[in-house]
Every structure is written in C-alpha cells, then in structure tokens.
Structure 1
Amino acid sequence: MGWGSFYKSKKPRGFRYTYLTFDPKKKELERKIRLSKHRVDPEANPLTEEDLKENLRGRLRRNSERLAKYGDPEDFSESIGKKNRQLVFVLAILFAFTYWIFESLGITTWADFAQLFIFW
C-alpha cells in the first residue's frame, strides 16, 4: 500500500462515542461537591486520582492557551521595547548602507536619483 508514497500519510481520527446516559453537568456538579468537601475536611475526604489529573490538566491547558495567545505578562513590555530597539537599529544600518552606496555612485540630489531610474 505505501510502496510508492513520498509523504507521510495522516493517521485516521480516533473514535469517540459519547454514551446517551452521560450527563456532563451532573458529573461536573459531583466533582465540585467532592472538591468542596475536600476543602472543608481534607483528611476525611481525600481527592481521587481522577480529580487530581483533571485539575492538573485544566491548569496546564489554561496556562498554555494564555501563554500562546498573550505571552508571559512580565516579559511583554520588555519584549516590545526590545523589538522596537532592534527595528530602529536595523533601519539605521539600512539607511547608512543606502547612503554609502548612493555616495559611491555619485548620486547626491533627487535629480540624480531620478536619472538613475529613467535610464533603466
């Protein structure tokens, strides 16, 4: 089947079946009740492994989405300032290089500059 292909074929999507008796609101309510009972008396109501995994998964997802969208808030102002300084520096070098090239070609006025393009 894959003898003549030069690219990696995509894997088929996984099959997910949601049962008809599944109620996500009820499951979320039960989870919140377990968490609140744990906050009141942690020794009598320990968290299940599922609660710990879900809490960690949700926290990681929220953090990664926020970082992907906005970046780290502490580094945001520094990164904008750094990017602006780099842009000004590159533009200054580009302007100096262009000026040096025009001086070496003997182009000192706008008329000389226009003649350069008319003859091309």
Structure 2
Amino acid sequence: MSEETIFSRIIKGDIPADIVYEDELCIAIRDVAPKAPTHLLVIPRKPIPRLVDASPEDQKILGHLMLAVGEIACKAGIGDAFRVVINNGEGAGQTVFHLHLHILGNKAFSEAELGF
C-alpha cells in the first residue's frame, strides 16, 4: 500500500475512534456517518486495499472477519437480523482503500434498499 489510510492511523492509535471490538486480526469501530441506527466497520489490521487485492495468504483473515461480524453484531445488540456490506472499488462506493466490512442493523431494510 503506497499511502497510509485513516483506518491504518486509527489502528495505530494516531486518530481516536469509538472502538467496540478488537483482537489480534481486526478492530471494529462505529461509523462516523451512520446509514442505520447501528453502523459498525470491521477492519483488518493488515492493510488490504480492496477485497480483490486479497491473496490466498489472506484466507485466514477473510474468514476471521466473517466470524468476527457475527460476534460483533451479537455484542452490539443487533440480534440475528443485520446487513453486511463490502464495497470493492470506487465505482462500488469504496472511499477508504483499506478493506472493511459494514455491519448495519437495528433497522428494517426494504427490498429496494437491498438492491436485488
């Protein structure tokens, strides 16, 4: 990765954030511009710019992120109804090029909002 992202700086402790979960492979923070009553970001400590930039060596991290989402959602009181979003690339709405998963919950999503 050529330049440091805001997420890398949060992970290093250079920028404050509302951290709701952390372990050896990832952290989760509250989104500063939430799109749902509960909007959390799950961020791997390893700076992978986009999902398509992940390599076979990242398989453990990717699987861990998915398992962490369930644990984080449960601890956040979302229950078993939530949405997980990964934006891959600028055309898909990615604005920070450090892979992250959005957990959106405590909101009923309409069929139109789901986009499919």
TM-score, structure 1 normalization: 0.24
TM-score, structure 2 normalization: 0.25
More strand by percentage: 2
More helix by percentage: 1
Higher relative contact order (CA 8 A, sep 6+): 2
